[in-house]
Structure 1
Amino acid sequence: MKKATKRPYKISKTPPPGWPTEDQWKEIDKKLEKKPASKALPSDAGPVERTKHELCAQFIKYRRQEDINQRELAQRLGVTDSRVSEILHYHHGRFTIDKLLELLAKIRPEVKIRVA
């Protein structure tokens, strides 16, 4: 017979104040399972990948500042919704730095790029 190991922590039946309930977590999981996952930047990423990643982050900042959805952003950029999804989730493999800069200039004409 296996001996039960004691956990070094307690599992609460109720979430702390302000945290989602179990039902809310289930609803969040349900919504997220249909969405594409954002791609993480690998620790060994080269300068091109890092630059693309930074450019994609600018689109996310813009979208939040303007409080617009993905479809509205696609309309402003003049591209399809699926292309914007790729940008917003850091799936930038099909984009060149030039293309990302061209798109970014449509929504942020004052953008300046600095090479460090």
Structure 2
Amino acid sequence: MKKVTKSPYKISKTPPPNWPSEDQWKEIDKKLDKKPASKTLPSNAGPVERTKHELCAQFIKYRRHEDISQRELAQRLGVTDSRVSEILNYNHDRFTIDKLLELLCRIRPEVKIKVA
């Protein structure tokens, strides 16, 4: 018969102060369910993927700096909301570096690219 050992971890039945309520967690889950997942950059990503990833990050920085919605960014870029969503979530497979750079220049004409 196996001996059952007691866990070294204490499990609290009360949440920490300022922890969301169960209803708040459900609301958070609903909101996150509707959002597309952001694509992460794999550790073995090549130079093209890394460049596209960095270009997408520039759109996110611009949006935050300007404090605009995704729809407003789409209007400024002259593309659909779904295309902007792909950029903002790093789903850049359908974009070339040229296209991302062209779009970025529409909102940041002074952008400079450094190739290392």
User: TM-score scaled by structure 2?
Assistant: 0.89
The amino acid that maps onto 2:63 is R
Whole-angstrom distance in 1 between the partners of 2:105 and 2:15: 44
Whole-angstrom distance in 2 between the partners of 1:86 and 1:99: 13
Aligned to 1:114: 114
Whole-angstrom distance in 2 between the partners of 1:57 and 1:86: 12
Whole-angstrom distance in 2 between the partners of 1:87 and 1:63: 12
Query: 6-15 or 75-84, which moves further after superposition?
Result: 6-15
Structure 2 residue runs of 5 or longer lacking an equivalent are none
1:50 aligns with 2:57: no
Whole-angstrom distance in 2 between the partners of 1:71 and 1:82: 9
Give the C-alpha shift of residue 109 in structure 1: 1.4
> What is the count of residue pairs matched by the alignment?
116
Aligned to 1:72: 72
Give the C-alpha shift of residue 108 in structure 1: 1.2
Sequence identity of aligned pairs in percent? 87
Give the C-alpha shift of residue 67 in structure 1: 1.3
SS at match of 2:94: coil
Whole-angstrom distance in 2 between the partners of 1:77 and 1:32: 26
- In 2 relative to 1, CA 9–34 (structure 1 residues): closer, same or farther, beyond 3 Å? same
Structure 1 residue runs of 5 or longer lacking an equivalent are none
